[in-house]
Amino acid sequence: MSKLTRFTNEQAPHIEEVMVRFVTEQTSDPRLAESMLYSIHAGGKRIRPLLLVATVAAFDKPIDLPVYQCAAALEMIHTYSLIHDDLPAMDDDDLRRGKPTNHVVYGEALAILAGDGLLTAAFQLLSMADIEADKKVLLLQQLSQSAGTKGMVAGQAADIQGENQTLTLDELMAVHARKTGELIRFAVVAGGVLANQSETILQELDQFAQHIGLAFQI
């Protein structure tokens, strides 16, 4: 078994446990919770949250509950984006990872609400984590920027507008840097924040993560 496989097998269950417990405890509508959990349980490589955890571990810092909570919040945002991407108004996909997509199982309306629920729950989870106030504010700011109208959402908007058009390499890289790269960038930088790294190190992690995001998309 490779070190990567061992690391994934050790860490991914902790991240999923945090997501499942939080959604179950904090969602008052059973059908909505079921829809949210359906996409959480759909699997995936958990690349983004595992990158966050791996960054903390790389600095020989303890991987404690707040680290898992931040990683889980990140994965919840990624999961919400997949639910919405699969909708007929977006990519109109009926299958994801070999299973029917959320809207196929639960209907478009509930799928939209499940995505909305995961997005807002992610910030609620991170805001409740036992993290020093200044770091928590920084993480919330960084995550909202990476997931929002300067990051992933902007990338999706550009991707939609670029359909049936021939984009230049620079334009294509800009789309992917926001749509895919921003959450990867957050994962690495957040790991540095949680590992108490200096501003200089955080800037270097930021540059490193931007290259990872582009390589991942390629």
Predicted confidence at residue 200, as pLDDT, reads 98
Instruction: Give the pTM.
Output: 0.95
Determine the Cα–Cα distance for residues 185 and 191; give it in Å rounded to an integer. Answer: 10
Predicted confidence at residue 210, as pLDDT, reads 87
Average pLDDT, 10 consecutive residues per value, the chain (218 residues) = 91 98 98 98 93 98 98 98 96 92 98 99 99 98 96 88 73 73 96 98 95 75
Q: For 79-98, what is each residue's pLDDT tens digit?
A: 999 999 999 999 999 999 88
CATH class of 3-217: mainly alpha
Predicted confidence at residue 218, as pLDDT, reads 61
- Residue boundaries of the structural domains of the chain: 3-217
On average, the pLDDT of the chain sits at: 93
Strands 99-100 and 95-96: antiparallel
Q: For 156-196, what is each residue's pLDDT tens digit?
A: 888 788 777 777 767 667 776 787 889 999 999 999 999 99
